Amino acid sequence: MFDLDGTLIDSAPVVADVLNGMRQQHSKDALGIDCYRSWSSEGGTVLVGNALDIPPKDAEQFVPEFRRRYFDYPTPFNSIYPGVIEMLRVFKSRNIRLAICSNKPENLCKKVLNEVNLDSYFDIVLGGDTLTKRKPDPLPLIHVINEIRINPNQILYVGDSLIDQNTARSAGIDFAFFAGGYDPKITLGPSDISFSTHDLFVSDLISQGKING
């Protein structure tokens, strides 16, 4: 199972363009892309609030506009992190079922995956609004476990944030941390895996016997 933003896709450039456009409407200067990367794990309301310099409770009214603009903004193919396509091909060639568990709304997850031609790799796509609860609640991960009918010790959740790590722990499954994502400040647990490139991640899984070489 994979998180999406900051794990498979660097969506920060698109988010920055969309929210800087909204800032312009509010007579505010554009912010640098690193601001948006650091806020991306916090969820849409906090992200929009930080971008517009307003409290989250006041930002809620602007979230639908942000999501509409995001939906209309094409996702560049080069948003995919290097090595992701090759990694997914290895997994699919070994008949490993793949899922997305993101806090981004489901329609935006599917839109992004479709625009960068990654949609065919995933058997299940869960967004933050698919179920009654979202990360860090373990429900989305547990839902996938039940859907594919597999033992939790055979599943790995791959993400880039403390939220992802806590979600995996709550669901009782192992966690793999992508260190090239948006939230580098996490402490790895004894069973956690860390990787900096997706090709090395696959090599490590093969060398550890977690997937067939």
User: Among all residues, which ones are annotated catalytic?
Assistant: 3
Q: Which residue has the tokens 């969309």?
A: 18
d(CA 177, CA 72): 30
Give the DSSP H or E segment for 177: strand 174-178
Q: Nearest to residue 103, comparing CAs of 162, 163, 173?
A: 163
Separation in Å, CA 13 to CA 30, 75, 121: 12, 9, 24
Contact present, 194 and 160 (Cβ < 8 Å): no
Helices (H), the chain: 12-25, 33-39, 44-52, 56-59, 63-72, 84-93, 106-115, 139-148, 162-171, 198-207
β-strands 174-178, 193-195 pairing: parallel
β-strands 99-101, 124-126 pairing: parallel
Q: Which residues of 124-156 are buried (b: 16+ CB within 10 A; e: fewer)?
A: bbbbbebeeebbbebbbbbbbbeeeeeeeeebb
